[in-house]
Structure 1
Amino acid sequence: MEKKKWFDIWPYYLPFTIDYPEMDIWEMLESPSGLYGNKNALVYYGNRIKYRELWQNVKNLSTYIKMMGFGKGDRIGIMMQNSPQFIISFFAISRSGATIVLMSPALDMETAEYIARDTNLKMVITTAELLKVPWDLHEKFNIPVICGLLKDYIKEPDIPVPEFVLADLDIKGVPWSEAVENRPDAGHIESGADAEALIAYTSGTTGIPKGCVHTNRSVISNAIGASIWRRLTSSAIELGAAPFFHVTGLSFSMLSPVYSGATIAILTRWNSEAAIEAIEKYRVTHFVSVAPMIVDLLNQKNLENRDFSSMRFIGGGGAAMPEILAENMEDLFHIPFVEGYGMTETMGQTHINPPEHRKLQCIGIPQFGYDAKIISTETGTPVEEGTGEIVVTGPSLFTGYLNKPLDTMQAFVDIDGQKYLRTGDIGYMDNEGSFFVVDRLKRMINRAGFKVWPAQVDSLMLKHSDILEACVVGTPDPRNGEEVKAYVVLREPGRNKKISEMEIVEWAKKEIGGYKYPRIVEFIESLPKTATGKVDWRKLQEREK
């Protein structure tokens, strides 16, 4: 095997590659349900659901899906927040032979219609608080809907529960209780490792949804890699707070612990106090988050008096983690903060930091069986030094964009006979083989001919003690073409001191300097967020244009 530069900092206790099993997604749950049948698979606000019970629910729903006439070649949507129903639906659809379509809980009707047409959607499984859009799809396209109540899986809560979770809402369509009631098992459909298994949508840089088609192989390989790298065992307790409908939460917070026979403590919606109490009461060991969750968590009072001693792994993904946030998390949990990197097109992480050799503001090294290179943004050829576009290849690459052959073709580049995915991220590799992302190719600000990478400036702005969040965008400027502007959310001390926008500009001039620092600052109550919790810089950029 070719020796890669990053093998010198590879964890000594891990192999360089993994032999991934040839199986379907649903088999990831069938195995632990037999091995750990009496063990808690899920903890849902105090309600403990054992692996055997979870698997029975999956078999019942799978049988019902087949009774409705759906199976191989059909596509079934899951439009839910984190819940037992999400996990049951995910594995049941797979076991029926159908394809899972991940649908964001925040979908508007126009986008939902697009997805329904694009996939020829056959059914949607949802919960009552999200029923409006699925039911509108039912009325427009006659798509059947299975609908449940989140509170059906809650008994005696022992951590804070969002009010909407406990709400007794009206349901329409097939009641969840009917779909999962005990019935003779109709068996399973074996699709094969390379069969279409899941479609996850990404808006990319154009805003037009693109369905990333994944196979059983690509989904499973990513989850197994997440388990082995984090040394996740059957005794682990994972905090399932990152959204399951997004590949980061799906791979790390749901599939990885299921594969390992671990327990998932589910939070339907992020709440910092609920997360802290879950860590304390359930003795959570593993937690993968996104930056807004960490901002919220670190903003809580009296954290030094809380018990985080059970934690064995903390990490982040989905968006670059500002250095100061990672450092504060390490101070709080007394373990390394491990950042990773991936895309919807790769079903999650392709890179991750070695815990013993972690670097902040670094996406890490290519994980098991992956390779990555830096290519010139002008010529598309590999470069040995300097900055360029990151390209990746590995076992979890998608097969292409649904119904978009041209986009699929343009997404890949051939290097020495090997197909690499163009990530659209600009970065570089250091002398140890660690990769760093500078920014999105499409997000770059061109200030008088100088390239400014906003994500880099975002992170530097957080060094100001009065700044809670910041998002840098380009704003049209008659002299420089584009000028650097920062939207800033202040902490309470800064608001109380009535600090001014110009004071922030003067601080940035001194601390960041050069052509990079924001010449314009605008205070804002909160930054817009995507459904996955990332800062939606596109909305702010469009506002400027």
Structure 2
Amino acid sequence: MFDRHYAVWPKGVPKHLTLPATSLYENLELSVRRYPTKPALIYYGSALSYAALKDHVDRLAGWLEHVCGVRRQDRVLLYMQNSPQFVIAYYAIQRLTAVVVPVNPMSKTEELRHIARDTGASTILCGQDVFAFAQPLLGHELQHAIVAAYADYVTPYHLRPNDIVQPDVVAAPRMPVPAPAIAWNDTLAANHAAGPHKATHDDWCVLPYSSGTTGAPKGCLHSIRGVTATLFGSIAWNPATPESVQLVTLPLFHVTGMQNSMNAPLFNGATLVLMTRWDRKVAADLIRRHRVTHWRNITTMCVDFLSDPDSANWDLSSLIGIGGGGAPMPKAVAAKLKEFTGLEYIEGYGLSETIAATHINPVSNPKPQCLGIPVFDVDSRIVNPDTLEELGPNETGEIVMAGPQIFLGYWNRPEETAQVVFERDGKRFFRSGDLGYYDDEGYFYLVDRLKRMINASGFKVWPSEIEAMMYAHPGIREVCVIATADAHRGETVKAVIIPNEGATLTPDDVQAWCRERMAAYKVPRVITFAESLPKSATGKILWRVLQDEERAAAKPDAAD
């Protein structure tokens, strides 16, 4: 057991957690019994109590069971922006002991098709803003669609004081929903009653998608036990009370937002202040209005927030905890944040395969640009990626970890699961694919990635997936996707293309083609053309050669 970090373990915090035996839905039930009239959600000035939240969850679950035929362990796609409907849909699926498949709302039709086919899901719950991408799947991969208008949970302007600026997608009125899809409000109006809730910690719970190490996106299957480990751990590591108010700006389809900004606060009886789209001025307004106490974000959000010329005048006095990850927090930004709030930015580290954090900085003793230390019941080590031999402090190798939150495996991919897990000391370790080291005190640091992955503002982009899609372009003969430095996003996507003979391509044309077929964060921001690509003796494109050249060119002394 790795215990070097115990010397800096937070005082008064246990090293082992006895996990509650309740399911996610039962967590909500208990909060409703304790705080029925308390606001569970606040959405652009409109509140939904805990009792009302559960009522909507139960009625939606009844429709899913009786009309859509959702049964225990069935997979259900959840394809929405942050909204009350996302939270309600998530817990309605849990109510049936089915499996939530959270889908990035930036995904397009072909990306949806892959996930629908891979999971065998027949039902999707989606926002009306993205329904057009799901509609072609109805009658084919999908049989049922429930379409939500976010405006339904916002009180009209003339009925509420202190108007808050809403993004267009929230202000948009409800649109007609063509059959066989059905409008969200119609499912609730039907008032179907779901059957008894029966769940154990071994039941499947959520199936977020990650590309793992190579190839098309893969589902990371988690049990209720694993999800409970990180949501309960979040509360124990960053103490909160039912009076806590959480600003929700992280996307809820992502495991960090799902666990730290939704499941943990609802377990605790706290209040969620939801934002559908990031807007720094609106975020500051919401912090002031609702006396927000906790805010989890990605580093780029915090950078944008503090770059506003008015940020020094914002009332942030209610904040008692702020942190996140996605990319190392620049020291200058962390210093500015501490000047404005008196708070340290607490960085952490986790993956889709670990359903949020396995490492977090101690609140009382954080280190900058650091992943943190292994949290409750996590045994994390550094190993040689070729031999799995354990390495010592300050030696760079692959970060591996064992713990209750480690996924059950990649959905229907036992061989690929076997490639990323191994047994040692009677424990099942997961290979993160990330290169790092730990210092003498047991703090872990990220150095590089074994995985071929691009981290664009916290969104994970998998080059092989982008390449596979770009090869469908009639003018592209060969393409290699790599990461390139970006002042705002940290990293962004670059495509090096060999055009087909006679093809006339421009970067703008290729980007426009990509925008029609893939999520915006995946579209290459930089496109160059070449006569050849480096290849191995077997003809395999040597992407790492291009990546190394790109990083070398980006170094400050590259021109010397």
* TM-score normalized by the length of structure 2: 0.79
Aligned partners of 2:484, 2:168: CA distance in 1, in Å? 38
Match of 2:315 among 292, 307, 311: 307
RMSD over aligned Cα atoms = 2.8
Q: CA deviation at 1:24?
A: 2.0
Residue in 1 aligned with 2:398?
389
2:138 aligned with 1:129: no
Residues 63 and 388 from structure 1, CA distance in 2 versus in 1: closer, same or farther, beyond 3 angstroms? same
2:73 — aligned with what?
73
1:402 partner letter: W
What is aligned with 1:4? 3
AA aligned to 2:237 is W
1:77–1:489 distance in 2 versus 1, CA, 3 Å? closer
Amino acid aligned to 2:379: D
| Amino acid in structure 1 at the alignment position of 2:111 | T
> Does structure 2 conserve the Cα–Cα contact (< 8 Å) formed by 1:291 and 1:534?
no
**Residue 214 (structure 2) pairs with residue 206 (structure 1):** yes
- Provide the rounded CA distance (Å) in 1 between the counterparts of 2:527 and 2:261: 31
SS of 1:81's partner is coil
1:182 positional shift: 6.5
Higher alpha-carbon deviation: 378-387 or 425-434 = 378-387
Give, in angstroms, the shift of residue 333 of structure 1. 1.7
Structure 2 residue identity aligned to 1:30: E
**How far apart are residue 178 of structure 1 and its match?**
1.6
Partner of 1:524: none
Task: Map Cα deviations across residues 319-364 of structure 1 (whole Å, 9 max, x no partner).
Answer: 3333333333222221111001000000000010111100001111
How far has the Cα of 1:534 moved from its partner?
A: 12
**Range that drifts further, 96-105 or 185-194:** 185-194
Q: How many residues align?
A: 472
| In structure 2, C-alpha distance between the alignment counterparts of 1:542 and 1:220, rounded to whole Å | 46
Instruction: Tell me, in whole angstroms, the C-alpha distance in 1 between the residues paired with 2:387 and 2:528.
Output: 29
Aligned to 2:224: 216
Aligned counterparts of 2:523 and 2:7: Cα–Cα separation in 1: 36
Q: Which runs of 5+ in 1 are unaligned?
A: 445-453, 460-472, 474-482, 491-527
Q: In structure 2, what residue type is equivalent to 1:70?
A: V
How far apart in 2 are the matches of 1:142 and 1:392?
37
1:413 maps to which residue?
Answer: 422
Determine helix, strand or coil for the equivalent of 1:328: helix
Structure 2 counterpart of 1:64: 63
Name the residue aligned to 1:97: 97
Q: Structure 1 pair 347/442, CA: closer, same or farther in 2 (3 Å)?
A: closer
Query: What's 1:439 paired with?
Result: 448
Describe the shift of the 1:437–1:53 C-alpha distance in structure 2 as closer, same or farther (beyond 3 A): same
Tell me if the contact between 2:220 and 2:352 (Cα under 8 Å) persists in the aligned partners. yes
Deviation digits for residues 200-220 of structure 1 (CA, Å, limit 9, x no counterpart): 001244351000001111112
Shift of residue 486 of structure 1? 4.2
Contact 2:220 2:409 in 1 (8 A): yes
The alignment partner of 2:140 has SS state of helix
Is contact 2:379-2:401 (8 Å) kept? yes
Question: Which residue of 2 is the match for residue 51 of structure 1?
Answer: 50
Instruction: Tell me the alpha carbon deviations over residues 420-448 of structure 1, each in whole angstroms, 9 at most, x when there is no partner.
Output: 1000111111111111111212469xxxx
Alignment of 1:496-535 (within 5 A): none
Question: Structure 1 pair 34/160, CA: closer, same or farther in 2 (3 Å)?
Answer: same
**AA at the equivalent of 1:430:** D
| Greater CA drift, 15-24 or 86-95 | 15-24
Which residue identity lines up with residue 158 of structure 1 in the other structure? D
| In structure 2, distance between residues paired with 1:378 and 1:363 | 23
Match of residue 191, structure 1, among 199, 208, 212: 199
The sequence identity of aligned pairs, in percent, is 35
Q: 299, 302, 305: which is aligned to 1:294?
A: 302
Deviations 1:168-214 (A, max 9, x none): 23433111112123736333331311111111001244351000001
Deviation at 1:135, TM superposition (A): 1.3
| Counterpart residue identity of residue 260, structure 1 | N
Deviation at 1:382, TM superposition (A): 0.8
Match of 2:369 in 1: 361
Query: Residues 423 and 27 of structure 1: is their aligned pair in 2 closer, same or farther, counting only changes over 3 Å?
Result: same
Aligned residue in 1 for 2:13: 14
1:399 to 399, 408, 430: 408
Distance in 1 (CA, whole Å) between partners of 2:172 and 2:484 is 42
1:319-334 equivalence runs, <5 A: 319-334=327-342
Task: Find out whether 1:232 has 2:237 as its counterpart.
Answer: no
Deviations 1:222-272 (A, max 9, x none): 111111211011000000110000001101111110011000000011111
Preserved CA contact (<8 Å) 1:160 1:273: no
Question: In the alignment, is the contact (CA less than 8 A) between 1:319 and 1:534 conserved in 2?
Answer: no
Q: Distance in 1 between matches of 2:486 and 2:145?
A: 41
Note the 1:447-466 alignment, pairs <5 A: none
Tell me the amino acid that sits aligned with residue 194 of structure 1.
D
Structure 2: distance between partners of 1:537 and 1:428? 32
The match for 2:140 is: 140
| Cα separation, 2, equivalents of 1:142 and 1:429 | 46
**2:278 aligns to what SS in structure 1?**
coil
Letter in 1 for 2:17: I
> In the aligned structure 1, how far is the partner of 2:215 from the partner of 2:277?
25
Inter-partner Cα distance in structure 2 for 1:216 and 1:26: 10
Counterpart contact for 1:318–1:534, Cα < 8 Å: no
| Distance in structure 1 (CA, Å) of the matches to 2:483 and 2:111 | 32
1:147/1:487 Cα in 2 relative to 1: closer, same or farther (>3 Å)? closer
Amino acid at match of 2:384: S
Residues 76 and 100, structure 2, Cα contact 8 Å, conserved in 1: yes
2:171 counterpart residue number: 166
Q: Which residue of 1 aligns with 2:260?
A: 252
* Distance 1:484-1:71 versus aligned 2 partners, 3 A rule: closer
Q: Summarize the alignment of residues 263-282 of structure 1 with structure 2, pairs less than 5 Å apart.
A: 263-282=271-290
Equivalent residue number for residue 427 of structure 1: 436
State the 1:46 CA deviation: 0.4
Q: Compared with structure 1, are the counterparts of its residues 534 and 388 closer, same or farther at alpha carbon in structure 2 (3 Å cutoff)?
A: farther
- The residue identity in structure 2 corresponding to 1:118 is D
Deviations 1:81-117 (Å, cap 9, x if unpaired)? 1000000000001111221111110112112111111
User: Contact conserved, 1:290 with 1:534, CA < 8 A, in 2?
Assistant: no
State the match for 2:387 in structure 1. Answer: 379
Distance 1:123-1:484 versus aligned 2 partners, 3 A rule: closer
CA distance in 2, matches of 1:184, 1:486: 52
Q: Which residue of 2 aligns with 1:468?
A: none
Counterpart of 2:29 in structure 1 is: 30
